[in-house]
Amino acid sequence: MVLPAEFHELAASVRSWGRWGDDDEIGTINLITDEVRLAAASCVQTGKAFSLALPLDTVTGIQIGVLPKRVNPVRTMTMINEPNSDDPDAARSSDDVVHMALQAATHWDGLGHVSYAGKIWNGYPADSITADGATRCGIHRIEHLTSRGVLLDVARAKGLDALEGGYAITADDLDAAVELAKVEVRSGDVVLVRTGQLGTHLPKDKAGYVMSTAGLGVSTPAWFHARDVAAVATDTFVFEVWPWEDEAVAMPVHMLHLVEMGMTQGQNWVLDALADDCAEDGRYEFLLEASPQPFVNAVGSPVNPVAIK
């Protein structure tokens, strides 16, 4: 794939390699400082909490074979009321095991998830991703991810229940959602972008959810870069718009976010209940706890994000 000059210019304008040192492996997560977390805690006013995660199971799992190696969770019992002694009334144990793709449901993409032109984040070589996983930029490098969350409800700002599949969200759309929320996006924030797609299609229309996705367009990485956003997550399968805006450039937003900016991104986040509550009380900011699981050298992680208002 030969990338056009316009993409290379955009990539250069948002590139943050070396900003946190030549050995950095977590990128914009560095923006979540102690001061940012302390300020985030002040967003809690009612204690109301929202889980933003899909259930982890085979029946409702969203993987339908489009990515054949990304499988839904399969949970199997390994022990069922197994005795610990000969005493029939003594304690017994039950255990289970799970086989799943780490990015099968609600998840973070790690910085090793995408490479291009032979590089991943911070200029590390793409061949640092080996059969042993991400020897650089593994998801376990992000030890915790707790910050101020900001919901940008793009669908509601446009007067819609959900954006149509294939709609490319623009920087102007993000500005309109900021105006709706009456909130300032600050350094270290985690921004949640709602399209309404997940709530519209799931659980019954998995194909509709997967096959044509409203999502972030190529005008948005510069918007996040200018505001020093720490991470971005959406309620979509692909994260960015699909089909791509330019058929000659596949996964442009992934390349810009993960490789150039070092910005962790999330997919398949459940945002509708939170969005309704934000619209009701007019508060679109909250404390967000969304730490990845510490899978060593993994390029992604399932997550149960919790927004606390």
The mean per-residue pLDDT over the stretch 134-156 comes to 98
- Note the pLDDT of residue 3: 87
Q: With a threshold of 0.85, does the pTM exceed it?
A: yes
Residue type at position 280 = E
- Note the pLDDT of residue 163: 97
Cα dihedral 5, 110, 213, 184, rounded to 10, equals: -80
**Is the predicted pLDDT of residue 1 greater than 80, yes or no?**
no
pLDDT band at 306 (very low <50, low <70, confident <90, very high): very high
Token pair 């032109």 is found at 117
The mean per-residue pLDDT over the stretch 55-61 comes to 93
**Structure token digits, residue 229:** 């956003």
**Is the predicted pLDDT of residue 170 greater than 70, yes or no?**
yes
Token pair 């995660």 is found at 53
- 199 contacts 209 by C-beta, under 8 angstroms: no
- 73 contacts 100 by C-beta, under 8 angstroms: yes
Q: In percent, how much of the chain has pLDDT > 90?
A: 94
Q: What is the number of other CB atoms lying within 10 angstroms of the CB of residue 250?
A: 14
Nearest-angstrom CA–CA distance, 287 and 41: 6
Q: In percent, how much of the chain has pLDDT > 70?
A: 100
Average pLDDT score, the chain: 96
Residue type at position 97 = V
**Is the predicted pLDDT of residue 2 greater than 80, yes or no?**
no
CATH number attached to the domain at 19-65+100-308? 3.50.30.50
Q: Who wins on pLDDT, 95 or 88?
A: 95
DSSP 93-157: EEEEEEE--TTSSSEEE-TTS--BTTB-GGG-BGGGEETTEESSS-GGG----EEEEEEEEHHHH
- Note the pLDDT of residue 212: 83
The mean per-residue pLDDT over the stretch 232-246 comes to 96
The mean per-residue pLDDT over the stretch 273-296 comes to 98
CA-atom Rg of the chain in angstroms: 20
Nearest-angstrom CA–CA distance, 39 and 139: 25
- Note the pLDDT of residue 222: 98
The mean per-residue pLDDT over the stretch 16-44 comes to 98
